[in-house]
Amino acid sequence: MSFDLLKIWRNEKSREIIVQIIVLIIFGWFISWLAGNVSGNFEKLGKDLSFEFLFIPAGYDINQYLISYNNRDSHLRAAVVGLLNTGLVAFFGIIIATIFGLFLGVLRLSKNWLANKIAYWYVEFTRNVPILLHILLWHGIIINTLPHPKQAIDILDVSYLTNRGFYIPKPIAEAGIELFYLFTIIAIIFAILFNKFSKKRQENTGKQLPVFWINLIVIILLPCIALILNNFPISFSIPELKGFNFRGGLHLSPELIALTFALAIYTAAFIAEIVRAGILAIHKGQREAAESIGLKPDKVMNLVILPQARRVIIPPLTSQYLNLTKNSSLAIAIGYMDLVATLGGISLNQTGREMETMVLVLLIYLCISLSISSLMNWYNYRVKLVDR
């Protein structure tokens, strides 16, 4: 019997299965022990695990919201508002960081000594200072340097920049706006299909089409036609100074601006190094071959270098997108009401449901991170080299 067990253990495949089973048993025991420990502590405190608190009035205000909210709404709605605020920062932060990081990464390889050194020192300074200090710095700059509402910086008499935020016109949809939405969707579908057609045509004939400009014209022109046909079914709420502050329009709080900008420029420094490494990974013969057929430097970079470099860039870029999204949880330091500040902060303190709120916050961030990872992995799969 012992000989048979020894023979099974020496078999590599069976040994792997046995080790995995043992690990699963240990992990299951640990989870069971943890759940029992939590249950026992809850029983000692006279508490139970319940999520009913989500449906009682929150009783607190939120300074930035994308959907209607007041302090009589439930904790669940407050959590949704916080989640949308987190998504808002992450979305615009990723876009700004990607554009700025790509620009810096290319600039780091510039033959211009001054441009190269400026990009180098920016990257070195930014990524070696804690992100929290960046957030506090930019929030302090906005609060202490911009004027009060009565001395607001006027932009074309429709937008105003103050130390209480940026006030811009707010579009309000009216009857007939459906045609605008329909034409916008049609324009986007056309842009996607035309992009695929132009790539296939280039592969077959070698001829390029002005894809960017054609798609840009279509995406702008079609929605404008829809607006003209329906007599512009969009009105605008213009911010106006009433008393000590502006009323109406769309308000972008200083906390939102500072947080988004700080996260973007901080992450851009890391993205710049990723882009630089991706470009350097491409053999110099690729550039020389492209230049030998008469391509200009910008064409060489856009058509030859970057399309190959993105296969190296995308995997570490995914990590930076995840870092930016998770770093947005530092928003509570400047009073921006994100998911952590609402559900994981005020709701937790008011209800005393620390376990329930933290579990929800953890699961929500996990779902957000997995969604970003899945999207980037899908894109990485689309651009990878295909074996023939």
Task: Give 162's contacts (C-beta < 8 A, 6+ positions apart).
Answer: 146, 147, 148, 149, 152, 153, 246
Alpha helix segments (H runs only) across the chain: 2-10, 12-45, 75-107, 113-127, 131-145, 177-205, 211-229, 254-280, 284-292, 297-299, 306-327, 339-341, 347-351, 354-383
Question: Which of these three, 196, 213, 237, is where a domain ends?
Answer: 237
Shared domain check, 207 and 257: no
Shared domain check, 326 and 267: yes
Shared domain check, 370 and 288: yes
Give the model's confidence band at 307: pLDDT under 50 very low, under 70 low, under 90 confident, else very high.
confident
Shared domain check, 332 and 280: yes
Shared domain check, 308 and 375: yes
What letter would DSSP give residue 158? T
Residue corresponding to tokens 């699963």: 24
Check whether 209 has a pLDDT greater than 60.
yes
Residue 54 is assigned to a structural domain of this protein: no
Shared domain check, 295 and 206: no
46: left (phi over 0), alpha (psi -120 to 50) or beta: left
Residue 314 is assigned to a structural domain of this protein: yes
- What pLDDT score was predicted for residue 4? 67
Give the model's confidence band at 301: pLDDT under 50 very low, under 70 low, under 90 confident, else very high.
confident
> Number of structural domains, the chain?
3
- Domain residues for the domain of 200 are 173-237
pTM: 0.84
- What pLDDT score was predicted for residue 3? 58
Shared domain check, 264 and 360: yes
Q: Which amino acid is at 65?
A: Y
The answer to whether the beta carbons of residues 193 and 273 sit under 8 Å apart is: no
Instruction: Identify the CA nearest to 246 among candidates 178, 172, 150.
Output: 150
Residue 292 is assigned to a structural domain of this protein: yes
* Strand 245-247 to 240-242 pairing: antiparallel
